[in-house]
Amino acid sequence: MRACPEEGVLDLLHGQAVVVHGARCVGHGRCAEVCPAGAIALTFADLGKRTDLPAITEEFEAVDVPGLFIAGELTGFSLVRTAVSHGAIAADSAHRRVIAARTAVPVAIGAASEASNDSIDLLIVGVGPAGMSCALRAKELGLSFELIEQAEEIGGTVAAYPRKKMVMTQPMMLPLHGRLTRLEYLKEDLVDLWKELIALHSLPVRTGVRLKDLARDSDGIFTAQTSAGVVRARTVCLALGRRGTPRKLGVPGEELPKVLYNLLDAESYQGRRILVVGGGDSAAEAAIGLAEQPGNIVTLSARGRDLSRIKSKNDARLKKSVQEKKLQLLLDSNTTRIDEESVTLRHSVDGVEQTLTLPNDDLFVFIGGDPPFELLKRAGVSFDPARRPKPAVVADSTTPLIWATSLLLLVAIGMLVWASLNQSYYGASPALRTMAEDHRWLRPSGAFGLTMALAAVGLFLWNLAYLARKNRVLARVLPGSLRFWMGSHVFTGIASFLCVIVHAGFNYRMTLGGYAFVALGVVLIAGMIGRYFYAAVPHAANGRELDLEELRARLASLATTWDKSSRGLGSTVRERIESLIRQDRWHPSLFARIVGLGTAHLRIRRALRELRLNPDYAEVPAAEREELMELAKRSLRLTVQIAHFEELRALLGSWRFFHRWLALLMLLLVLAHIAISLRYAKLDWPLPAWVLPSEKVASR
C-alpha cells in the first residue's frame, strides 16, 4: 500500500489489504514488485475480450509476424517507465532474432548476401520513451538500426503533453545511461535528456518521416514504405503510441479553426472563454492549466456522471479549482453544436435534460484518438483475442482445497471401511465391548486406540505449525509454500477429528476427553465458517469495486445508444442499480445486517425479472440485449457484495476471535486429557519409559 505512487488505490480495512479505488490504478506495478508473497500480478482484467490490443508474445513480438515487435502504448500500457522497459526488451528480442538469422545455414548464399547488404538489423518507428529505450539498447548490443519519427520533434506522446507537465512518478533504467533517480521530470527536461542522449551516442534519428506501409517479404526481410523512401530491415520495432488521429466530436461547426485537439502551452491563452471536452487526465490537466491563466473563463464538459478515470492528484486539483470558482464542471453533458462565438451543449441535471449555450472563443477536444491499427493489420498483426498467448499461470495464495478434500475423502472412506469390518465391536454397547475378543487392542487405551490418539496429536501439532509458518522468522525453518501449509492446515484439522472418533471407539462419553472432543468439533466448525468468509469476503471486495466502477462506466457509455433504440432502457437499468446502491447501506444492528444480507439476493432476482418483462427489452438487438443483461446481473451482485462488505468483514473478525480462543481451550483440554491418561489409564502400548510414571514402569 505504501509503495503505490497513486493516492487512494489501496488501503487497509480491518487489517486486510483491499482495493478501494481501482480505477485510479495506472499500472505502476510497484505493489507487485514489493509484495513479499508474490500474490499480485499486473494484467488486464478483460484481456480475453479486448480487440484493441495486438496479439504479442511476452517478448513483445507479433504472434503471426516473426521479427515485428510492438512496444509502448500500443501494448495497452501508458506509463513512461513501462514503455522504457518494453523498448529494451524488444531490442533484446530483435538481437536474438538477428543472431539466429546470421548463424543459420543459408539456403541460397547469393540471395542471403544480397539481402544483408541493403538491409539494417532493426528499424525503430517512433522516438518516444519506448523507441528511445529500444535504440539505446540496440546501440549497446551493436545492432545496425535507424529511428524514424513522423513529427518534427522527438518525444512521441510525451512531446505532445502540455508545457511543464510532470511525466514520471517512479525511477527507471535507461540503457547506456543508467538509472534516472528523480521521481518526477518535467516534459521539457525529459525531452532535453533524450536529445542529449541522441547527440552523445550518435543515434541515427530522422524526424518528419512517416511510415506508410510495412510488409514482410518472402526472404524474411521487412520492407517499410516511408515518406522518405524505402527502408529494409531484418526486424522492426513499432513504438508508435496510441494517439494516432485525434477522435472528433462529429457535431456541426467542428471544422472551425477555434477547435483544437492539443494544448502545448496554456500560458498563451489569457482572457479567453474556453470549453474543454473530455473526461480523462488530459482534459482535466488542460482545463486546470487554462483556468490558472488570468482572465480565462473555463468550462470542463464530460459525458460521464463522474471523473473516476483521472488520477487522484488531478482529481484534487480539479476539485480545488471548482471550489475556488476558477473552473466550471459540467458532468453528464454532450456538445451538440459549435458556432463562431458560442457552443451548445445538452446537459442532464437530476435526470432532466436541458440545452445550454455558452459564450466561447476556444474549444479543446480531448476524447482520445484512433490508434494506427489499420497499419498494423496490413503488416499482419492480429487483434484477435484467441490468437493472444495465454498469460502465465500466477501462483495464487488461496487454499488448495481440492487435494486437501481428496485426501480427507480417502481418510473418511478408510474409517468407514474399518468401522464396517469391526461392526461387531463398535456396534455393541460399552458394557458388552469389555467382553469382546478385540476389546484389548480396539479400546481407547489399547494398541490401535492409542495409535489413533497419537496420530490425532501428531496431526494437530502439524496443524498448529501453520501458525508458525505464517511468521516470517519461523518461515525460514519450515520449508514449503504458504499455500501448501494452508492446505495441510485444512487437512490435518479435519483428519485429526476423524482419528479422535476412531480413538474413542465411535462412542462419546462425558469425560475430560469427551469435552476436548466437543471443543475440537466446535473449532472445526468455526474454522470452516471462517474459511468461507475468508475465501469469499476479501475476493468479493479486493478488486470488486474496480469491477463495479468499470461496469457502471460501460453502462453509462452504452446508455445513450440503448436510449435511442430502446426508449430509455439503458437509463432505466442504470437508475435501478443506483437505487440499489443507495438502498444497500451498512446497517447498525446485527438483526438488520442479517435481514439485509438475506433480502439483497431477493432484490437482485426481482430486478432482473422486471428487466426481462420490460417491453423495451425485446426491442434491443440480441447482442446488446445479452450484454445488457450480463452487465445488469454482475452490477447488481457486486453492488450487494460491496454494500455489505463492512458486515461481512465484521463477521469474519468475530469468527477469527472465536476460532482462536476455542482452539486454545481445546488445546488445554487435550493436554489435560493426555496428562490424566498417562497417570491413571491402563495403557497397552509400548510407550517409551520417559513417558510413563515410575510405578507403571516398575509394573511393566
DSSP 618-675: GGS-HHHHHHHHHHHHHHHHHHHHHHTHHHHHHHHHHHHHHHHHHHHHHHHHHHHHHH
For residues 408 and 490, membership in a common domain is answered with yes
Residue 517 is inside which H or E element, if any? Answer: helix 512-541
In angstroms, the CA 38 to CA 21 distance is 21
For residues 10 and 72, membership in a common domain is answered with no
| Residue 525: inside a domain | no
Give whole-number Cα distances, 680 to 290, 514, 690, 696, in Å.
89, 16, 16, 10
| Residue 689: inside a domain | no
Q: Are 230 and 217 in contact (CB under 8 A)?
A: no
**Which pLDDT score is estimated for 430?**
83
For residues 75 and 39, membership in a common domain is answered with no
Instruction: Give the chain's radius of gyration (CA, Å).
Output: 34
47-75 burial code (b ≥16 CB/10 A, e <16)? eeeeeebbbbeeebbbbebebbbbbbbbb
Strands 273-277 and 178-180: unpaired
The DSSP 8-state label assigned to residue 162 in this structure reads: P
**Which pLDDT score is estimated for 511?**
82
For residues 549 and 630, membership in a common domain is answered with yes
For residues 203 and 286, membership in a common domain is answered with no
Place of cell 446481473: 633
| Residue 337: inside a domain | yes
| Residue 372: inside a domain | no
For residues 309 and 340, membership in a common domain is answered with yes
**Closest to 170 measured CA to CA, from 162, 159, 179:** 179
**Which pLDDT score is estimated for 339?**
93
In angstroms, the CA 310 to CA 333 distance is 17
Signed CA dihedral, 364, 368, 372, 374: sign only? negative
Amino acid at 318: L
| Residue 462: inside a domain | yes
Q: What is the mean pLDDT of each run of 10 residues along the chain (700 residues)?
A: 77 68 71 72 62 83 91 79 87 90 58 61 91 92 92 72 62 82 74 88 91 89 92 92 77 91 83 92 88 92 80 83 91 92 89 88 87 86 80 48 78 88 87 84 84 88 78 69 75 87 85 83 76 48 38 46 49 62 53 62 73 71 66 59 56 69 84 84 58 48
Q: Are 653 and 14 in contact (CB under 8 A)?
A: yes
Q: Which of 366, 393, 420 is at the close of a domain? A: 366
Q: Are 187 and 262 in contact (CB under 8 A)?
A: no
| Residue 140: inside a domain | yes
**Which pLDDT score is estimated for 691?**
46
For residues 9 and 55, membership in a common domain is answered with no
| Residue 526: inside a domain | no
CATH number of the domain where residue 291 is located: 3.50.50.60
pTM, two decimals, is 0.51
**Which pLDDT score is estimated for 252?**
92
Q: Determine the structural domain holding residue 494 and report its residue range.
A: 401-507
In angstroms, the CA 185 to CA 248 distance is 31
**Which pLDDT score is estimated for 215?**
92
Q: Are 236 and 125 in contact (CB under 8 A)?
A: yes
For residues 62 and 207, membership in a common domain is answered with yes
Specify the 3-state DSSP secondary structure of 479.
coil
Q: Are 163 and 117 in contact (CB under 8 A)?
A: no
Which distant-in-sequence residues (6+ apart) come within 8 Å of 375 by Cβ?
Answer: 211, 213, 214, 240
For residues 68 and 214, membership in a common domain is answered with yes
| Residue 436: inside a domain | yes
**Which pLDDT score is estimated for 449?**
83
How far from the centroid of its chain's Cα atoms is residue 621's Cα?
31
DSSP of 320-358, one letter per residue?
HHHHTTSEEEE-SEEEEEE-SSEEEEEEEETTEEEEEEE
- H-type alpha helices, 215-310: 281-291
**Which pLDDT score is estimated for 123?**
95
In angstroms, the CA 261 to CA 274 distance is 13
**Bridge partners of 61?**
69
For residues 79 and 140, membership in a common domain is answered with yes
3-state secondary structure 131-147: HHHHHHHHHHHCCCEEE
The tally of CA atoms less than 13 A away on the side-chain side of residue 607 is 27
**Which pLDDT score is estimated for 235?**
95
**Closest to 523 measured CA to CA, from 496, 483, 559:** 496
**Which pLDDT score is estimated for 46?**
55
Q: Are 164 and 186 in contact (CB under 8 A)?
A: yes
In angstroms, the CA 267 to CA 165 distance is 13
For residues 128 and 59, membership in a common domain is answered with yes
Number of domains in the chain: 5
Phi-psi region for residue 241, left (φ > 0), alpha (ψ -120 to 50) or beta?
left
Q: Which of 244, 279, 309 is at the close of a domain? A: 244
Place of cell 507487485: 32
For residues 18 and 133, membership in a common domain is answered with no
Give whole-number Cα distances, 614 to 343, 555, 556, 568, 618, in Å.
37, 17, 19, 11, 8
**Which pLDDT score is estimated for 578?**
59
